[in-house]
Amino acid sequence: MGAKLPILSGREVVIAFAADGWETARQRGRHIILVKEGSMVTLSVPDHREVARGTLRSLIREAGLTVDEFMALVD
C-alpha cells in the first residue's frame, strides 16, 4: 500500500506541507488550517503531538500528493 508513513506531530506536518507551497491561514481550535494559491482545497491539520497515519494519508491525498512526494518534503 505504498510507503509507510512516519508518526509526525501536527507542526511537522505543517512544515512539510509548507515546503510544497501551503501556507497557514489560521488556527481553529486544535487544528491548523492550510491554504495554497490556486487550490480550492483547504487542509485541516490537527495540532497534536502525533497525527494518526490515516489522517495524514487523507491530508496527503487531499493535497494532491503521493505518499512518496510527501515523504520527500519531510526533513
pTM: 0.92
45 close to 59: Cβ distance less than 8 angstroms: yes
More confident residue, 75 or 5: 5
As a whole number, the mean pLDDT across the chain is: 94
Model confidence pLDDT, tens digit, residues 54-68: 999 999 999 999 999
More confident residue, 48 or 3: 48
Cα atoms in the Cβ-side hemisphere of radius 13 Å centred on 11 = 1
- The DSSP H or E segment spanning 55 is helix 53-62
Predicted pLDDT of residue 2: 56
More confident residue, 2 or 34: 34
Q: Show contacts of 39-48: CB within 8 Å, 24+ apart.
A: 39/64, 43/17, 45/10, 45/13, 45/14, 45/17, 46/10, 47/10, 47/11, 48/9, 48/10
Out of 3.40.47.10, 3.40.440.10, 3.30.920.30, 3.40.120.10, the CATH code matching 10-73 is: 3.30.920.30
